[in-house]
Amino acid sequence: MFQSTRGGTWGLWETSLAGGDPAPLLDEAAEETDPSFSADGGAVVFATDACAGLSCVAAWRGAGPEILAAEPGWYLGAPTLGADGTAWFEASDGDPEAVGATAIWRVAP
């Protein structure tokens, strides 16, 4: 799994380790970036701007993505999925480059 703009906006794409053409996993008008997936491939977390915040984190387990909502003006990004299903991501009240810092948040499964 990787992020690419080959569909026109940042989206999530996948390909087999054996090769073959990449295919879109999620490539919509919103931008999807920074995927991290579980070892069994059953879950993925990623950043998206399909929310009221500057950027949000989404978790995909099964049927489709579920956005972990951010308040308007908040940034949630760069998620990582731990082996136990815990999601870790950075958070900032505003643009992290303007604020100059982020915090690390944790969401347990």
Q: What is the CATH number of the domain that holds 93?
A: 2.120.10.30
Q: If we measure between CA atoms, which residue out of 46, 44, 42, 24 comes closest to residue 34?
A: 46
**Number of domains the chain is built from:** 1
Triad 57, 32, 27: Cα angle to 5° = 140
**pLDDT digits over 17-64, tens only?**
888 899 998 888 889 999 998 888 788 889 998 888 888 898 887 777
- Per DSSP bridges, beta strands 19-26 and 11-16 are antiparallel
Percent of the chain with pLDDT strictly greater than 90: 31
- Domain around 43: 2-107
Residue 6: band (very low, low, confident or very high) from pLDDT cuts 50, 70, 90: very high
Q: Report how far residue 10's alpha carbon sits from residue 86's, in angstroms, rounded to the nearest whole number.
A: 25
